[in-house]
Amino acid sequence: MRNVKKIFVVCFLMFIFSLKFNSISFSQTTSKKILAFYYPWYGTPEYHLNWFHWENVDTKNHSIGWSTNYPAIGAYDSHNPKTIAYHIKLAKKYSIDGFICSWWGVGGFEDKAIPKLLDYAQKNDFEITIYWETVLGEGEKKIIRAVSEIVYILKNYASHPAFMKINNKPVIFIYSRVMGQIKMKEWSQIIEKAKNQYQNDFILIADGLNERYAKHFEGIHTYSIAGWAQNKSLEELKSQSKNLFDDAVKIARKYNKISCVTIIPGYDDRKIRKPGINAERYDGDAYKVFWENAIEANPDWVLITSWNEWHEGSEIEPSLEYGSKYLKITKEYANIFKEGK
């Protein structure tokens, strides 16, 4: 009888512990991170016989047709091991913890760069994850395609030590395009099938700061605030981004999900779109304002748009125009954010 009571007490305590454990939010189990959106889609004739994502490259006059600014190292190839090593070491030096890599499908140009990125990331205590950009097809074909792409990412990359994980669960970010292509009612079916095929759990971070996504995904984020930031004075950016970031964190925390705040150094896509969007950098002051309000909002992760989206002029990678200004600002504020001051 005494043994029965002991068993009952042990089982009861285990039950209480499980309830307590399951109630722990992601915010309590994740470390603070700085992640930058990264584009492994650039190619040069040296590696690929043609230019990819660079146009009218004029090395003499330091001009690139599709690039708002000019990279400090010139037009580069994303598959070049030297470029990959340079980017990861530089990002790590300036307190960035990982890259969210643009990914457009199985066997694509970006996909072929991921193994190299993972290997170099492992050498530098750096993390790599995927930014799932698009899913093709309609109806059942689209669902099958979505499942197969998630499973492909997980089976091919998630076992790598450098692939980003939380509580041993691989993390994948989903861009707004995919969120629009897949209906809300289809997600549960896609996630269930992917888990069955992968035979393990994983984490999806949805693009969209709303309660509907916060309820159904493990985290929420937004890719860019450029459209919101254009035509605003520095004072307007200061006051209004505070509310924007606070709301983003509150929505995620309400449902115990991973909270992300996205900041930009600036944005200018007028070389590739008409009329385009131009969000002023204010000589680095806009970036500082976003950092200060992001730190005050206290999210789990701060996301930077971007490391190297040269077409849209949102890069913090060193350029001839700005040098390493934005990396120095990143390091200063990233350290404050991680220290929790």
Q: What's the pLDDT tens digit per position in 210-244?
A: 999 999 999 999 999 999 999 999 999 999 999 99
Question: Which two tokens mark 256?
Answer: 């115990």
pTM of this structure: 0.92
Element (H, E) at 151: helix 139-157
Element (H, E) at 98: strand 98-103
Say what the pLDDT of residue 274 is: 94
23: pLDDT strictly greater than 50? no
Residue 281 in any domain: the answer is: yes
Domain coverage including residue 98: 30-339
Percent of the chain with pLDDT over 90: 91
Question: Coil, strand, or helix at residue 312?
Answer: helix
Residue 334 in any domain: the answer is: yes
How far apart are alpha carbons 34 and 98 in whole angstroms?
7
pLDDT confidence tier of residue 8, bands split at 50, 70 and 90: very low
Residue 101 in any domain: the answer is: yes
Residue 248 in any domain: the answer is: yes
CATH of the domain at 121: 3.20.20.80
Which residues face 166 on adjacent strands? 169
Q: What's the pLDDT tens digit per position in 117-141?
A: 999 999 999 999 999 999 999 999 9
Residue 304 in any domain: the answer is: yes
Residue 224 in any domain: the answer is: yes
**Dihedral through CA 288, CA 99, CA 117, CA 135, nearest 10?**
-140
The domain tally of the chain equals: 1
Residue 144 in any domain: the answer is: yes
Question: Which two tokens mark 29?
Answer: 């189990």
Say what the pLDDT of residue 340 is: 82
29: pLDDT strictly greater than 80? no
Residue 263 in any domain: the answer is: yes
